[in-house]
Structure 1
Amino acid sequence: MKIRGKRECQSCGESWSYYDTGSVACPGCGSLKSVGTDDTRTLHTDTPATLDLTPIVAQLAEDDVQIKECHEELSDRLREYTRKRGFIRGGELQELDEQYLGARELLHAVDIFTRQRDPSDRERLYILDLLRTVATGDRLADTEPPEALLGARGAGVADAVGAYHRDLRSWFDEYPYPEAERTLSALRDRVKRAEALNGAIESDEAKALVAVARSLGAAAREGQQESDKRLIDARDRLDELS
Protein backbone atom coordinates (compact mmCIF):
# COMPACT_ATOMS: atom_id res chain seq x y z
CA MET A 1 0.00 0.00 0.00
CA LYS A 2 0.97 3.65 -0.35
CA ILE A 3 0.80 5.86 2.72
CA ARG A 4 1.90 9.18 4.15
CA GLY A 5 4.40 8.04 6.75
CA LYS A 6 4.90 11.29 8.64
CA ARG A 7 2.01 11.74 11.07
CA GLU A 8 0.85 14.65 13.20
CA CYS A 9 -1.58 14.34 16.11
CA GLN A 10 -4.58 16.65 15.85
CA SER A 11 -5.10 16.44 19.60
CA CYS A 12 -1.67 17.29 21.04
CA GLY A 13 0.39 18.22 17.98
CA GLU A 14 3.05 15.51 18.39
CA SER A 15 4.78 14.29 15.22
CA TRP A 16 6.03 10.75 14.56
CA SER A 17 6.76 8.25 11.80
CA TYR A 18 4.26 5.53 10.96
CA TYR A 19 7.20 3.57 9.59
CA ASP A 20 8.59 3.31 13.13
CA THR A 21 5.38 2.57 15.04
CA GLY A 22 3.11 0.92 12.49
CA SER A 23 0.18 2.81 13.99
CA VAL A 24 -1.84 5.96 13.37
CA ALA A 25 -2.33 6.31 17.14
CA CYS A 26 -0.34 9.13 18.71
CA PRO A 27 2.57 7.74 20.79
CA GLY A 28 2.22 10.73 23.10
CA CYS A 29 -1.46 10.94 24.03
CA GLY A 30 -2.90 7.86 22.32
CA SER A 31 -5.34 9.81 20.17
CA LEU A 32 -6.41 8.23 16.87
CA LYS A 33 -6.96 11.67 15.35
CA SER A 34 -3.86 12.14 13.22
CA VAL A 35 -3.06 13.24 9.70
CA GLY A 36 -0.30 12.44 7.24
CA THR A 37 1.92 15.42 6.52
CA ASP A 38 3.99 14.06 3.60
CA ASP A 39 3.42 15.70 0.23
CA THR A 40 3.08 12.31 -1.45
CA ARG A 41 2.21 8.74 -0.49
CA THR A 42 5.02 6.17 -0.32
CA LEU A 43 5.03 2.39 -0.84
CA HIS A 44 5.09 0.63 2.51
CA THR A 45 4.27 -2.99 3.42
CA ASP A 46 6.30 -3.54 6.60
CA THR A 47 5.19 -3.28 10.21
CA PRO A 48 7.76 -3.04 13.04
CA ALA A 49 8.10 -6.57 14.41
CA THR A 50 10.51 -8.26 16.78
CA LEU A 51 10.70 -12.04 17.03
CA ASP A 52 11.41 -12.80 20.69
CA LEU A 53 11.96 -16.53 21.13
CA THR A 54 14.04 -16.22 24.30
CA PRO A 55 11.28 -17.54 26.62
CA ILE A 56 10.81 -20.63 24.42
CA VAL A 57 14.55 -21.29 24.25
CA ALA A 58 14.74 -20.98 28.04
CA GLN A 59 11.85 -23.39 28.58
CA LEU A 60 13.33 -26.02 26.29
CA ALA A 61 16.68 -25.78 28.05
CA GLU A 62 15.01 -27.65 30.92
CA ASP A 63 15.28 -31.42 30.49
CA ASP A 64 11.66 -32.15 31.37
CA VAL A 65 10.12 -29.67 28.90
CA GLN A 66 9.23 -31.03 25.46
CA ILE A 67 8.74 -29.23 22.15
CA LYS A 68 5.10 -30.30 21.98
CA GLU A 69 4.42 -28.46 25.24
CA CYS A 70 5.71 -25.19 23.73
CA HIS A 71 4.19 -25.76 20.31
CA GLU A 72 1.22 -23.41 20.63
CA GLU A 73 3.12 -20.47 22.09
CA LEU A 74 5.99 -20.87 19.63
CA SER A 75 3.64 -21.07 16.65
CA ASP A 76 1.72 -18.00 17.82
CA ARG A 77 4.93 -15.96 18.09
CA LEU A 78 6.12 -17.07 14.65
CA ARG A 79 2.76 -16.39 13.00
CA GLU A 80 2.48 -12.93 14.52
CA TYR A 81 6.00 -12.06 13.37
CA THR A 82 5.57 -13.31 9.81
CA ARG A 83 2.12 -11.71 9.54
CA LYS A 84 3.49 -8.28 10.38
CA ARG A 85 6.59 -8.47 8.24
CA GLY A 86 6.86 -6.87 4.81
CA PHE A 87 9.79 -5.92 2.59
CA ILE A 88 9.09 -2.34 1.53
CA ARG A 89 9.80 0.12 4.30
CA GLY A 90 9.12 3.79 3.72
CA GLY A 91 9.63 3.47 -0.01
CA GLU A 92 12.80 1.37 0.28
CA LEU A 93 12.89 -2.26 -0.83
CA GLN A 94 14.55 -4.48 1.76
CA GLU A 95 16.38 -7.79 1.36
CA LEU A 96 14.81 -11.19 1.95
CA ASP A 97 16.50 -11.75 5.30
CA GLU A 98 17.67 -14.91 7.05
CA GLN A 99 15.50 -14.60 10.14
CA TYR A 100 12.31 -14.38 8.11
CA LEU A 101 13.32 -17.45 6.11
CA GLY A 102 14.23 -19.32 9.29
CA ALA A 103 10.97 -18.35 10.98
CA ARG A 104 8.96 -19.70 8.06
CA GLU A 105 10.84 -23.01 8.11
CA LEU A 106 10.57 -23.32 11.89
CA LEU A 107 6.81 -22.82 11.77
CA HIS A 108 6.43 -25.76 9.38
CA ALA A 109 9.02 -27.90 11.13
CA VAL A 110 7.35 -27.61 14.54
CA ASP A 111 3.96 -28.41 13.02
CA ILE A 112 5.31 -31.57 11.35
CA PHE A 113 7.18 -32.61 14.50
CA THR A 114 4.19 -32.26 16.83
CA ARG A 115 1.98 -34.34 14.51
CA GLN A 116 4.40 -37.26 14.52
CA ARG A 117 3.61 -40.14 16.84
CA ASP A 118 7.23 -40.98 17.60
CA PRO A 119 9.66 -38.27 16.38
CA SER A 120 13.35 -39.11 16.47
CA ASP A 121 16.03 -37.55 18.64
CA ARG A 122 17.73 -36.20 15.50
CA GLU A 123 14.53 -34.39 14.50
CA ARG A 124 14.18 -32.92 17.98
CA LEU A 125 17.81 -31.75 18.00
CA TYR A 126 17.40 -30.19 14.56
CA ILE A 127 14.37 -28.18 15.67
CA LEU A 128 16.18 -27.05 18.81
CA ASP A 129 19.16 -25.92 16.72
CA LEU A 130 16.84 -24.17 14.26
CA LEU A 131 14.98 -22.47 17.10
CA ARG A 132 18.17 -21.18 18.74
CA THR A 133 19.51 -19.97 15.39
CA VAL A 134 16.31 -18.15 14.41
CA ALA A 135 16.21 -16.56 17.87
CA THR A 136 19.56 -14.93 17.09
CA GLY A 137 18.33 -13.60 13.72
CA ASP A 138 19.75 -16.33 11.47
CA ARG A 139 18.79 -19.76 10.08
CA LEU A 140 20.31 -23.19 9.46
CA ALA A 141 20.74 -22.62 5.73
CA ASP A 142 23.71 -24.98 5.33
CA THR A 143 22.47 -27.78 7.60
CA GLU A 144 20.47 -30.52 5.87
CA PRO A 145 17.24 -31.25 7.78
CA PRO A 146 16.32 -34.82 8.78
CA GLU A 147 14.31 -36.56 6.06
CA ALA A 148 10.99 -36.10 7.90
CA LEU A 149 11.56 -32.33 8.05
CA LEU A 150 12.79 -31.77 4.50
CA GLY A 151 9.32 -30.61 3.48
CA ALA A 152 9.45 -27.93 6.15
CA ARG A 153 12.51 -26.40 4.50
CA GLY A 154 10.84 -26.34 1.08
CA ALA A 155 7.50 -25.09 2.42
CA GLY A 156 9.19 -22.37 4.45
CA VAL A 157 11.15 -21.18 1.43
CA ALA A 158 7.98 -21.22 -0.70
CA ASP A 159 6.13 -19.11 1.88
CA ALA A 160 9.00 -16.64 2.29
CA VAL A 161 9.79 -16.26 -1.40
CA GLY A 162 6.07 -16.02 -2.17
CA ALA A 163 5.71 -13.14 0.29
CA TYR A 164 8.79 -11.42 -1.12
CA HIS A 165 7.48 -11.93 -4.65
CA ARG A 166 4.26 -10.08 -3.76
CA ASP A 167 6.25 -7.06 -2.60
CA LEU A 168 8.47 -7.26 -5.68
CA ARG A 169 5.29 -7.25 -7.76
CA SER A 170 4.14 -4.07 -5.99
CA TRP A 171 7.58 -2.52 -6.45
CA PHE A 172 7.78 -3.21 -10.18
CA ASP A 173 4.19 -2.00 -10.65
CA GLU A 174 5.32 1.31 -9.16
CA TYR A 175 8.72 1.34 -10.85
CA PRO A 176 8.33 -0.58 -14.13
CA TYR A 177 11.31 -2.66 -15.18
CA PRO A 178 10.21 -4.69 -18.24
CA GLU A 179 13.43 -6.73 -18.29
CA ALA A 180 12.51 -8.20 -14.90
CA GLU A 181 8.98 -9.29 -15.80
CA ARG A 182 9.84 -12.69 -17.31
CA THR A 183 12.06 -13.62 -14.38
CA LEU A 184 9.45 -12.44 -11.88
CA SER A 185 6.76 -14.57 -13.54
CA ALA A 186 9.05 -17.59 -13.75
CA LEU A 187 9.86 -17.28 -10.05
CA ARG A 188 6.17 -17.21 -9.18
CA ASP A 189 5.61 -20.38 -11.24
CA ARG A 190 8.37 -22.18 -9.31
CA VAL A 191 6.91 -21.01 -5.99
CA LYS A 192 3.47 -22.30 -6.97
CA ARG A 193 5.04 -25.64 -7.85
CA ALA A 194 6.75 -25.85 -4.46
CA GLU A 195 3.47 -25.00 -2.73
CA ALA A 196 1.61 -27.68 -4.70
CA LEU A 197 4.22 -30.21 -3.60
CA ASN A 198 3.87 -29.12 0.07
CA GLY A 199 7.54 -28.16 0.08
CA ALA A 200 8.77 -31.52 -1.25
CA ILE A 201 11.52 -30.02 -3.41
CA GLU A 202 15.26 -30.61 -3.56
CA SER A 203 17.51 -28.52 -1.33
CA ASP A 204 19.24 -27.09 -4.40
CA GLU A 205 15.92 -25.84 -5.72
CA ALA A 206 15.07 -24.21 -2.40
CA LYS A 207 18.43 -22.44 -2.41
CA ALA A 208 17.89 -21.35 -6.02
CA LEU A 209 14.47 -19.83 -5.24
CA VAL A 210 15.98 -17.76 -2.44
CA ALA A 211 18.91 -16.69 -4.62
CA VAL A 212 16.61 -15.65 -7.49
CA ALA A 213 14.36 -13.63 -5.17
CA ARG A 214 17.40 -11.86 -3.74
CA SER A 215 18.80 -11.19 -7.20
CA LEU A 216 15.52 -9.61 -8.25
CA GLY A 217 15.52 -7.50 -5.11
CA ALA A 218 19.07 -6.37 -5.76
CA ALA A 219 18.19 -5.59 -9.39
CA ALA A 220 15.36 -3.36 -8.19
CA ARG A 221 17.72 -1.40 -5.92
CA GLU A 222 20.81 -1.05 -8.11
CA GLY A 223 21.75 0.88 -11.25
CA GLN A 224 20.91 -0.36 -14.73
CA GLN A 225 24.23 -2.07 -15.46
CA GLU A 226 24.33 -3.93 -12.16
CA SER A 227 20.62 -4.74 -12.46
CA ASP A 228 21.14 -6.41 -15.82
CA LYS A 229 23.86 -8.60 -14.32
CA ARG A 230 21.55 -9.60 -11.45
CA LEU A 231 18.77 -10.54 -13.86
CA ILE A 232 21.09 -12.66 -15.97
CA ASP A 233 22.20 -14.49 -12.83
CA ALA A 234 18.57 -15.01 -11.75
CA ARG A 235 17.53 -16.31 -15.18
CA ASP A 236 20.47 -18.72 -15.29
CA ARG A 237 19.47 -20.16 -11.92
CA LEU A 238 15.86 -20.65 -13.01
CA ASP A 239 16.95 -22.22 -16.31
CA GLU A 240 19.03 -24.74 -14.36
CA LEU A 241 15.84 -25.85 -12.56
CA SER A 242 13.91 -26.47 -15.79
Structure 2
Amino acid sequence: MKIRGERECQECGTRWSYYETGSVVCPDCGSMRSVGLDDPTEHTAGSAELDLTEIRGLVDDQPLADVAEAAAERCREYLRRSGFVSGGELRPLDDTYLAAAELRLAGEAVARAMRLSDDEGYYFLELLRGADAGERPPADAVPESMRTVRGLAYARAVDAYRSDLRRYLDDNPDETVGSLLATLRDHQKRIEALDGDVSPRSAGELVYIVRAIGRALADDDETALAEAQRRLDGFEVDL
Protein backbone atom coordinates (compact mmCIF):
# COMPACT_ATOMS: atom_id res chain seq x y z
CA MET A 1 0.00 0.00 0.00
CA LYS A 2 1.05 3.60 -0.47
CA ILE A 3 1.66 5.58 2.71
CA ARG A 4 3.17 8.88 3.80
CA GLY A 5 6.18 7.59 5.71
CA GLU A 6 7.64 10.80 7.10
CA ARG A 7 5.41 11.70 10.07
CA GLU A 8 5.00 14.74 12.30
CA CYS A 9 3.18 14.57 15.63
CA GLN A 10 0.41 17.15 15.95
CA GLU A 11 0.74 17.14 19.73
CA CYS A 12 4.46 17.69 20.31
CA GLY A 13 5.93 18.28 16.85
CA THR A 14 8.25 15.26 16.87
CA ARG A 15 9.17 13.94 13.42
CA TRP A 16 9.95 10.33 12.67
CA SER A 17 9.91 7.75 9.89
CA TYR A 18 7.16 5.16 9.73
CA TYR A 19 9.50 3.13 7.53
CA GLU A 20 11.79 2.68 10.53
CA THR A 21 9.29 2.26 13.37
CA GLY A 22 6.35 0.67 11.55
CA SER A 23 4.00 2.77 13.70
CA VAL A 24 1.99 5.99 13.42
CA VAL A 25 2.25 6.45 17.21
CA CYS A 26 4.59 9.27 18.20
CA PRO A 27 7.76 7.75 19.69
CA ASP A 28 8.12 10.68 22.12
CA CYS A 29 4.65 11.42 23.53
CA GLY A 30 2.62 8.41 22.40
CA SER A 31 0.02 10.44 20.52
CA MET A 32 -1.69 8.85 17.52
CA ARG A 33 -2.41 12.26 15.96
CA SER A 34 0.17 12.75 13.24
CA VAL A 35 0.36 13.95 9.65
CA GLY A 36 2.40 12.75 6.69
CA LEU A 37 4.94 15.15 5.26
CA ASP A 38 5.96 13.35 2.08
CA ASP A 39 4.19 11.96 -0.97
CA PRO A 40 2.48 8.56 -0.65
CA THR A 41 5.05 5.83 -1.33
CA GLU A 42 4.66 2.08 -1.78
CA HIS A 43 5.47 0.30 1.46
CA THR A 44 4.82 -3.33 2.37
CA ALA A 45 7.73 -4.03 4.71
CA GLY A 46 7.07 -4.32 8.43
CA SER A 47 9.35 -4.09 11.42
CA ALA A 48 9.12 -7.81 12.15
CA GLU A 49 12.11 -9.68 13.56
CA LEU A 50 12.33 -13.43 13.99
CA ASP A 51 13.68 -14.58 17.36
CA LEU A 52 13.38 -18.28 18.18
CA THR A 53 15.54 -18.24 21.32
CA GLU A 54 12.62 -18.73 23.70
CA ILE A 55 11.18 -21.60 21.64
CA ARG A 56 14.54 -23.35 21.39
CA GLY A 57 14.61 -23.23 25.19
CA LEU A 58 11.48 -25.41 25.31
CA VAL A 59 13.07 -28.38 23.51
CA ASP A 60 14.36 -30.13 26.64
CA ASP A 61 11.21 -29.60 28.71
CA GLN A 62 8.23 -29.78 26.36
CA PRO A 63 6.91 -32.45 23.97
CA LEU A 64 8.29 -31.91 20.49
CA ALA A 65 4.77 -31.44 19.10
CA ASP A 66 4.21 -28.49 21.45
CA VAL A 67 7.56 -26.96 20.51
CA ALA A 68 6.72 -27.39 16.84
CA GLU A 69 3.34 -25.72 17.24
CA ALA A 70 4.95 -22.75 19.02
CA ALA A 71 7.62 -22.44 16.32
CA ALA A 72 5.01 -22.54 13.57
CA GLU A 73 2.98 -19.79 15.24
CA ARG A 74 6.05 -17.58 15.75
CA CYS A 75 7.01 -17.95 12.09
CA ARG A 76 3.43 -17.40 10.96
CA GLU A 77 3.35 -14.05 12.75
CA TYR A 78 6.75 -13.06 11.37
CA LEU A 79 5.73 -13.86 7.80
CA ARG A 80 2.44 -11.99 8.19
CA ARG A 81 4.28 -8.83 9.21
CA SER A 82 7.02 -9.05 6.56
CA GLY A 83 7.22 -7.39 3.16
CA PHE A 84 9.76 -6.46 0.53
CA VAL A 85 9.12 -2.85 -0.50
CA SER A 86 10.34 -0.29 2.04
CA GLY A 87 9.58 3.34 1.33
CA GLY A 88 9.54 2.65 -2.39
CA GLU A 89 12.80 0.70 -2.32
CA LEU A 90 12.88 -2.99 -3.19
CA ARG A 91 14.40 -5.39 -0.70
CA PRO A 92 15.72 -8.89 -1.53
CA LEU A 93 13.98 -12.15 -0.70
CA ASP A 94 16.28 -13.00 2.20
CA ASP A 95 17.26 -16.31 3.76
CA THR A 96 15.49 -15.60 7.04
CA TYR A 97 12.15 -15.25 5.26
CA LEU A 98 12.75 -18.52 3.39
CA ALA A 99 13.78 -20.35 6.56
CA ALA A 100 10.76 -18.99 8.44
CA ALA A 101 8.43 -20.11 5.65
CA GLU A 102 9.93 -23.59 5.79
CA LEU A 103 9.95 -23.82 9.60
CA ARG A 104 6.31 -22.76 9.73
CA LEU A 105 5.22 -25.67 7.55
CA ALA A 106 7.67 -28.10 9.15
CA GLY A 107 6.35 -27.13 12.58
CA GLU A 108 2.77 -27.68 11.48
CA ALA A 109 3.69 -31.10 10.05
CA VAL A 110 5.51 -32.19 13.21
CA ALA A 111 2.74 -30.90 15.48
CA ARG A 112 0.09 -33.02 13.78
CA ALA A 113 2.22 -36.13 13.08
CA MET A 114 1.14 -39.36 14.74
CA ARG A 115 4.61 -40.82 14.34
CA LEU A 116 7.86 -39.02 13.59
CA SER A 117 11.02 -40.59 12.20
CA ASP A 118 14.45 -39.64 13.52
CA ASP A 119 15.26 -37.94 10.21
CA GLU A 120 12.09 -35.85 10.35
CA GLY A 121 12.73 -34.82 13.94
CA TYR A 122 16.33 -33.89 13.18
CA TYR A 123 15.23 -31.87 10.15
CA PHE A 124 12.77 -29.87 12.23
CA LEU A 125 15.33 -29.25 14.98
CA GLU A 126 17.91 -28.10 12.45
CA LEU A 127 15.41 -25.58 11.09
CA LEU A 128 14.57 -24.42 14.60
CA ARG A 129 18.26 -24.08 15.43
CA GLY A 130 19.12 -21.71 12.61
CA ALA A 131 16.02 -20.23 10.96
CA ASP A 132 16.28 -16.84 12.67
CA ALA A 133 19.83 -16.59 11.33
CA GLY A 134 18.66 -17.52 7.84
CA GLU A 135 20.07 -21.06 8.08
CA ARG A 136 18.31 -24.21 6.89
CA PRO A 137 19.35 -27.75 5.96
CA PRO A 138 20.81 -28.20 2.45
CA ALA A 139 18.57 -29.71 -0.22
CA ASP A 140 20.10 -33.18 0.08
CA ALA A 141 19.38 -33.23 3.84
CA VAL A 142 15.62 -32.76 3.46
CA PRO A 143 13.91 -36.10 4.24
CA GLU A 144 11.86 -37.50 1.37
CA SER A 145 8.76 -37.36 3.56
CA MET A 146 9.37 -33.65 4.18
CA ARG A 147 10.21 -32.45 0.70
CA THR A 148 6.65 -31.18 0.32
CA VAL A 149 7.40 -28.78 3.17
CA ARG A 150 10.32 -27.19 1.35
CA GLY A 151 8.56 -27.21 -2.01
CA LEU A 152 5.42 -25.53 -0.71
CA ALA A 153 7.31 -23.11 1.54
CA TYR A 154 9.50 -21.92 -1.31
CA ALA A 155 6.55 -21.63 -3.70
CA ARG A 156 4.68 -19.47 -1.18
CA ALA A 157 7.76 -17.32 -0.56
CA VAL A 158 8.19 -16.84 -4.30
CA ASP A 159 4.53 -15.88 -4.58
CA ALA A 160 4.85 -13.30 -1.77
CA TYR A 161 7.94 -11.78 -3.34
CA ARG A 162 6.45 -11.84 -6.82
CA SER A 163 3.41 -10.00 -5.49
CA ASP A 164 5.60 -7.22 -4.08
CA LEU A 165 7.59 -7.10 -7.31
CA ARG A 166 4.30 -6.41 -9.07
CA ARG A 167 3.61 -3.56 -6.67
CA TYR A 168 7.08 -2.17 -7.33
CA LEU A 169 6.46 -2.38 -11.08
CA ASP A 170 3.42 -0.13 -10.73
CA ASP A 171 5.84 2.76 -10.08
CA ASN A 172 8.78 1.34 -12.04
CA PRO A 173 7.27 -0.31 -15.12
CA ASP A 174 9.31 -2.85 -17.07
CA GLU A 175 7.57 -4.91 -19.75
CA THR A 176 10.25 -7.61 -19.84
CA VAL A 177 10.12 -8.15 -16.09
CA GLY A 178 6.32 -8.24 -16.18
CA SER A 179 6.46 -11.03 -18.75
CA LEU A 180 8.98 -12.99 -16.67
CA LEU A 181 6.80 -12.69 -13.59
CA ALA A 182 3.80 -14.04 -15.48
CA THR A 183 5.77 -17.13 -16.54
CA LEU A 184 7.21 -17.50 -13.04
CA ARG A 185 3.70 -17.45 -11.61
CA ASP A 186 2.70 -20.37 -13.83
CA HIS A 187 5.53 -22.52 -12.46
CA GLN A 188 4.88 -21.42 -8.88
CA LYS A 189 1.18 -22.27 -9.19
CA ARG A 190 2.02 -25.70 -10.55
CA ILE A 191 4.25 -26.45 -7.56
CA GLU A 192 1.47 -25.31 -5.24
CA ALA A 193 -1.03 -27.50 -7.11
CA LEU A 194 1.31 -30.42 -6.43
CA ASP A 195 1.29 -29.49 -2.72
CA GLY A 196 5.01 -28.83 -2.98
CA ASP A 197 5.80 -32.44 -3.90
CA VAL A 198 8.72 -31.58 -6.17
CA SER A 199 12.47 -31.96 -5.85
CA PRO A 200 14.20 -29.49 -3.54
CA ARG A 201 16.35 -28.57 -6.54
CA SER A 202 13.30 -27.39 -8.49
CA ALA A 203 12.02 -25.36 -5.55
CA GLY A 204 15.45 -23.80 -5.04
CA GLU A 205 15.76 -22.92 -8.71
CA LEU A 206 12.49 -21.00 -8.60
CA VAL A 207 13.83 -18.99 -5.65
CA TYR A 208 17.04 -18.26 -7.56
CA ILE A 209 15.07 -16.95 -10.52
CA VAL A 210 12.82 -14.60 -8.53
CA ARG A 211 15.84 -13.30 -6.62
CA ALA A 212 17.59 -12.56 -9.93
CA ILE A 213 14.52 -10.65 -11.11
CA GLY A 214 14.58 -8.69 -7.85
CA ARG A 215 18.25 -7.77 -8.36
CA ALA A 216 17.52 -6.74 -11.93
CA LEU A 217 14.82 -4.33 -10.75
CA ALA A 218 16.51 -2.98 -7.62
CA ASP A 219 19.95 -2.46 -9.18
CA ASP A 220 19.03 -2.05 -12.86
CA ASP A 221 21.17 -5.14 -13.39
CA GLU A 222 20.86 -6.34 -16.98
CA THR A 223 23.11 -9.33 -16.31
CA ALA A 224 20.75 -10.55 -13.56
CA LEU A 225 17.77 -10.06 -15.85
CA ALA A 226 19.40 -12.09 -18.62
CA GLU A 227 20.28 -14.83 -16.11
CA ALA A 228 16.68 -14.94 -14.87
CA GLN A 229 15.42 -15.17 -18.46
CA ARG A 230 17.86 -17.99 -19.31
CA ARG A 231 17.02 -20.03 -16.24
CA LEU A 232 13.30 -19.48 -16.61
CA ASP A 233 13.42 -20.59 -20.25
CA GLY A 234 15.06 -23.84 -19.17
CA PHE A 235 13.05 -24.42 -16.00
CA GLU A 236 11.30 -27.73 -15.55
CA VAL A 237 9.60 -29.09 -12.46
CA ASP A 238 11.31 -32.29 -11.29
CA LEU A 239 8.86 -34.62 -9.53
TM-score category (smaller protein): over 0.9
Unaligned 5+ segments in structure 2 are: none
| Kept after mapping to 1: 8 A contact 2:69/2:108 | no
- 1:82-231 aligned at under 5 Å gives the runs 82-223=79-220, 226-227=221-222, 229-231=223-225
2:27 aligns with: 27
2:44 aligns with: 45
Identity of aligned residues (%): 44
1:142 and 1:92 mapped to 2: Cα distance?
A: 31
- Amino acid in the other structure paired with 2:14: E
1:241 and 1:168 mapped to 2: Cα distance?
A: 20
Q: Secondary structure at the match of 2:58?
A: helix
1:5 and 1:83 mapped to 2: Cα distance?
A: 20
Provide Cα deviations, 1:72-109, integer angstroms capped at 9, x if missing partner: 32222111100000001111101100010010011111
Q: Aligned-pair distance for 1:204? A: 1.7
Provide Cα deviations, 1:160-198, integer angstroms capped at 9, x if missing partner: 110000000011121111121221101111111111111
Q: Secondary structure at the match of 1:133?
A: helix
1:65 aligns with: 62
Provide Cα deviations, 1:118-158, integer angstroms capped at 9, x if missing partner: 11111101110111110323333445311111100001101
- Amino acid in the other structure paired with 2:55: I
Query: How many matched pairs?
Result: 236
Unaligned 5+ segments in structure 1 are: none
1:234 aligns with: 228
2:36 aligns with: 36
2:68 and 2:137 mapped to 1: Cα distance?
A: 20
Runs (4+) of structure 1 exceeding 3 A deviation are: none
Residue of structure 2 aligned with 1:74, choices 71, 76, 82: 71
Q: Aligned-pair distance for 1:32? A: 1.0
| Kept after mapping to 2: 8 A contact 1:99/1:139 | no
- Amino acid in the other structure paired with 1:2: K
